Structure 1
Amino acid sequence: MQRDAQVEKTAMRHALDAGTTPGLPFGPNPRVGCAVLDADGRLVAVGHHRGAGTPHAEVDALTRAGERAHGGTALVTLEPCTHTGRTGPCADALLAAGVRRVVVGMRDPNPVAAGGVDVLRAAGVEVDVLDAHLPLARAIHAANRGWAHGLSHERPFVTWKTAGTLDGRAAAADGSSRWITGEPARAEVHALRARVDTVLVGTGTVLADDPALTVRSADGTAAPTQPLRAVMGERPVPAEARLLTDGAAETVHLTTRDPRTALATLFERGRREVLLEGGATLAAAFLAAGLVDEVVAYVAPALLGAGFPVLGDLGITTIDDALRLRLTDVARVGDDVRLVLHPSPTAPPEE
């Protein structure tokens, strides 16, 4: 059996691309892709999982490969499962196909399904697991971060997206906020929405801005697949609100002011990635509860001096109690700056 590191890397990239095909569900199951090389190292099939009850990625790829999989290599983004649910164990399927080598993008954090690597090795199959620090491995982990986070926290992964002026204003004193950031930053926000399964705002944002909260292209065309639009709060959503009348995406009203209750409801609906878009009061509630896992902040080179703040009151009165975040990425986006931050490792854990 021939082996070429670059060929395997390219095949794993094909598997990742297949597993993250736009429109595939984000939860409650993982997004998985698989590529198969024949005994001579030629790519012969790529498959992916399409949601609960459908064939797993390995079975999909092996079915496409047929006899060409015998003696070959399977490259799968997630460790092959060992349990029987709606479908059989993928580790057994790989053994039955006569695959001689398996490359795994990441180990399965689900104890119910994990163990495929050990099963395959015990049967004499050569198995390699990608180093988690490799760029390709990091991309694989990122593709399923919401699903993996849900396994350990039993709630969706929450990203707070915010945009403000250099002096921390989200809107001017008269309430106007279009547009604080430039077109490149706004395009990135639509890309952010496309990578989650839920966009969450408070009733105050709906009443003040009447937003669409959809994924759109630069010309305003709506994407064929849209995240769930969730509105949180006890005040009623007006019947004429765009969220209820435009038919562009499903909308749910979470009649609670408690972030934990809202996330629990979304988790029960199979939602695993939430983009928190507004407003200041809602963001403060999630931050104060320790329920923000990532912050994506756009800072515009503009000053207002007065107006509405990006963030509401956190109850912090001294600098020693400041909520510290860890900067993990910074980039210029047009004339704006994008910061990606995560809770400090010294922050108190969730209850």
Structure 2
Amino acid sequence: MKAILWATLTANGNYAQSSPENPPKQEALNDFAAHAKAAGNFIVGRRTFEAMQDPNRVPQEEEANTDGPFAGMDIVVISSSIHDIPGVTVVRSPQEALNYLRQKGHQTALISGGADVHNTFLSQGLVDEVIFNVAPVLEGKGLNLLIDQNNYGYMHVQLLDCKPLGGGVVQLRYAIDR
């Protein structure tokens, strides 16, 4: 199974932190919905899942769907504190999330956040590709990707694609060399 990590970053490389004053770019939200639909699933942490329940984060093109933009998808939430969330599968670890999706017959797993989940997948060598949507904003304080939290390791990648999504958002897609 191919594991793809999807994230929105600021132009200076931090995770884009959304707030009412700085909402997520609609182009990035639409892109996430398209990738989730293509994969048929996505993996998130509990806090990110809770933030996704905000109706302002639903992609515009999907709002007409009364079942929501993620109806029929396998949504996997990684949490050590919550044991049950109606309509989603709760697991304890990244490997358990991938095993669940593999057993369900998925060929691709979309890892969509947050920073702790991304860093854990990367540090455990479970990611095949990364998709970074770079938002046109600089942020003074933010979270970063950490591939090796104890050392200054390197992870070599190969550029697969680079394209504008609109609204100043640029998407970079890389394969991770193993």
- TM-score range (shorter-chain normalised) is 0.7 to 0.9
Residue of structure 2 aligned with 1:229, choices 64, 71, 75: 75
Alignment partner, residue 315 of structure 1: 149
Alignment partner, residue 89 of structure 2: 252
Percent of pairs with identical residues: 23
Deviation for aligned residue 1:158: 1.1
Alignment partner, residue 161 of structure 2: 329
Kindly provide the CA deviation profile for residues 294-322 of structure 1, in whole angstroms up to 9, marking residues without a partner as x: 11110012111113x1424622533xx21
Counterparts of 1:213-292 in structure 2, within 5 Å, are: 216-218=59-61, 220-222=63-65, 226-236=72-82, 244=86, 250-254=87-91, 256-257=92-93, 259-292=94-127
CA–CA distance in structure 1, aligned partners of residues 115 and 80 of structure 2: 16
CA–CA distance in structure 2, aligned partners of residues 204 and 225 of structure 1: 20
Alignment partner, residue 15 of structure 2: 170
Deviation for aligned residue 1:236: 0.7
Determine if the alignment matches structure 1 residue 186 to structure 2 residue 18.
no
CA–CA distance in structure 1, aligned partners of residues 16 and 132 of structure 2: 15
Give ranges in structure 2 of 5+ residues lacking alignment.
none
User: What amino acid maps onto 1:233 in structure 2?
Assistant: S
Provide the alpha-carbon RMSD of the alignment: 2.8
Kindly provide the CA deviation profile for residues 252-284 of structure 1, in whole angstroms up to 9, marking residues without a partner as x: 111x13x22321122223233211110111111
Kindly provide the CA deviation profile for residues 102-138 of structure 1, in whole angstroms up to 9, marking residues without a partner as x: xxxxxxxxxxxxxxxxxxxxxxxxxxxxxxxxxxxxx
Determine if the alignment matches structure 1 residue 211 to structure 2 residue 53.
yes
Alignment partner, residue 134 of structure 1: none
Determine if the alignment matches structure 1 residue 294 to structure 2 residue 157.
no
CA–CA distance in structure 2, aligned partners of residues 171 and 215 of structure 1: 17
Q: Is the 8 A contact 1:200 1:231 kept in 2?
A: yes
CA–CA distance in structure 1, aligned partners of residues 146 and 48 of structure 2: 13
Q: TM-score, normalised by structure 1?
A: 0.44
User: What amino acid maps onto 1:170 in structure 2?
Assistant: Y
Q: Is the 8 A contact 2:45 2:117 kept in 1?
A: yes
Cα distance 1:291–1:200, how it changes in 2: closer, same or farther (>3 A)? same
Alignment partner, residue 29 of structure 1: none
CA–CA distance in structure 2, aligned partners of residues 163 and 211 of structure 1: 18
Q: TM-score, normalised by structure 2?
A: 0.81
CA–CA distance in structure 2, aligned partners of residues 224 and 311 of structure 1: 26
Q: Pick the structure with greater CA Rg.
A: 1
Q: Is the 8 A contact 2:123 2:147 kept in 1?
A: no
Q: Is the 8 A contact 2:43 2:109 kept in 1?
A: yes
